[in-house]
A and B are shown apart, each in its own frame.
Chain A
Amino acid sequence: DAGITQSPRHKVTETGTPVTLRCHQTENHRYMYWYRQDPGHGLRLIHYSYGVKDTDKGEVSDGYSVSRSKTEDFLLTLESATSSQTSVYFCAISEDRAEETQYFGPGTRLLVL
């Protein structure tokens, strides 16, 4: 999985609690992305980062925030988890955005009860 780790790999939480997912890369790639995967929707972009402290929204960013204080780490936070945020979350990285070959982490399976 191209030097990308995600933690935790599985999490069960309750509605209304905050949740933070971590993505860590050892490739020194500039761009990092968070996606969610749901049946029938493929992968949808939540947020992405194009450098330390530089982030932007994707197509499904409501209810999520991100932070990137170091090149290697990209955090996704659900401030107050809802059942609709039950999903599998993938982090991805890319070196050159023009070519946009993204490499994916192993995923985090989140269940919000």
Chain B
Amino acid sequence: AQSVAQPEDQVNVAEGNPLTVKCTYSVSGNPYLFWYVQYPNRGLQFLLKYITGDNLVKGSYGFEAEFNKSQTSFHLKKPSALVSDSALYFCAVRGLKLIFGAGTRLAVHP
């Protein structure tokens, strides 16, 4: 069965510190993996995706994600967090259909 898990409901980070938002997945075959961000009262915005190739994927707003096949993970990272990064982050995996995780709320404190 296809699934995606975001083990943390909320992540708290001080501004300027590195951040990681975790995602693990389960899918048959090669995964297509995505990260989206949602700001309050807005739709989801595409951040980045992994289809094939380099395990480190760079995306919008300075975010990147590392694909780890052996750990079936696709964690979202940023070297230096900004208060404006505070939002809801969704990981998604494409198998037969696109399946979203429950979301992780990122709070960056000044």
Contact = CB atoms under 8 A, between A and B. Distances in A.
Sort chain B's interface into a size bin.
Answer: 10 to 19
Interface of B: 32, 34, 36, 41-46, 49, 51, 90, 94, 97-98, 100-103
B101 A104 contact: no
26 contacts: A40-B102, A41-B102, A42-B90, A42-B100, A42-B103, A43-B44, A43-B90, A44-B100, A45-B97, A45-B98, A58-B97, A59-B97, A90-B43, A92-B44, A99-B49, A99-B51, A100-B32, A100-B34, A100-B98, A101-B34, A101-B46, A102-B98, A104-B43, A104-B44, A105-B43, A106-B42
A74 B87 CA distance: 28
Interface of A is mostly: loop
A92 B46 CA distance: 11
Nearest to B6: A42
Interface centre among A40, A101, A107, by most B CB within 10 Å?
Answer: A101
Interface of A: 1, 4, 40-45, 58-59, 90, 92, 99-107
